[in-house]
Chains A and B, each alone.
Chain A
Amino acid sequence: MKPFTLKTFLNAKSVALFSIIVFILAVMFTVTNQNQVTADTSLANRVLHASDMTDLKIETWQSDEKIEMGDLSHPLNNAVGKPELLDSALQAQIMAYQEGYQTSAFLTWHDQSLGMGNYVYRYPSSEQAIQAQKSITGQFVSTDKQQMVETFNQDNIQGESYVVMGDQNDALYWFVGVHDDTVVMLMVDSISASTSKEAFAMLLDDLFLKQK
């Protein structure tokens, strides 16, 4: 019987086969990982980050992360499984997004605090993104307290802004738009209507610049 030495070990065919399998797995893992990073990065490039805040002061930066499907802290997930609130077909169109990214923060403008949430959702096609945007904004009911403010039709992004006035001169602003295959949403909320309005306008300008 041959003694088992390092040489016989290194020459063994099984070791060579094992090495090839490990190499293939490593390549597959690297490629998958790189695709993931690329996708995340490109979506992340379309939202506002702490570094984009030039006029508004940052109080706390709350989130800068991928949106998980079960996460209730962003707008779209909360109607899932509630057909009594939102028609199932509309819900399916909205929830057809493949990936999402969000940032949120508390900011200060003229010593007044405001909350900001920026959400982007990528759909399989630009047609589906447009459909999703229509399904979202189609739910809006205009009243004395809530209205559509403005329509935007720029080269790189189309959408509408909305305001919801509170009972105590507070205001919530939304932008819902489409850029290619992505639905882009911006929310600004504060207890001062003028703060919400001014901050929303500034943040929206910054957001449009990022939709290249």
Chain B
Amino acid sequence: MLFKQQPYLLFFLLGLLLFTNQVASAQTKAPEGIWSTVIAYKTDWAYNEPTFPYLPHFGAFFIGGWGKNQHYLGPGGDTATCDSGSGCISVWNWWGPSYSTLLIPKWWWGSAWQHRFSPYYQATVYTN
């Protein structure tokens, strides 16, 4: 009866319902992320150990988190990294609040400039 008198009211209410539904779903839906294979955007010191002599640790930095399936794309590939003194690249540790930095053993980063060349480090990371 009311809608007969005010036909626009129906459209208004439908629109309002649609809008609130959209807002609610946007608020409750968790952002979905994807796993992708990317290369490191830089290599640098990752952190120093907390007490003096503050042993420095070097790493390859990735955009994303929860890094895994890391590979070395430089000369010799993954196999070459087995000379690092800390095992092959597949067992190197991830570091950081979201594990986005692949720690690079000192003997490896110090032995050739290619070992500090960020595009040679590839990994699968999770990004939102």
Contact = CB atoms under 8 A, between A and B. Distances in A.
B52 A74 contact: no
Contact of A170 (B46, B51, B106, B113): B106
A159 interface: no
Contacts, number: 81
B11 interface: no
B111 interface: yes
Contact of B53 (A86, A117, A162): A162
Contact of B107 (A75, A114, A191): A191
A47 to B, nearest CB: 16
B110 A190 contact: yes
A157 to B, nearest CB: 18
Interface string A121-146: 00000000000000011011000001
Interface string B91-128: 00000000000000011001111001000000000000
Nearest to A173: B53
A139 B85 contact: no
A146 B53 contact: yes
Interface stretch (B12-20, B28-36, B54-62): B54-62
Interface string A55-88: 0000110110000000011110011001001100
Contact of A75 (B54, B58, B106, B111): B54
Contacts of B113: 59, 106, 113
B78 interface: no
Given A170-B107, A191-B111, A62 B52 contact: no
Interface of A: 59-60, 62-63, 72-75, 78-79, 82, 85-86, 104, 106, 113-115, 117, 136-137, 139-140, 146, 162, 164, 166-168, 170, 172, 174, 176, 187, 189-192
Task: State the 5 A-B residue pairs at the shortest beta-carbon distance, nearest first.
Answer: A191-B110, A79-B50, A75-B54, A139-B52, A78-B50
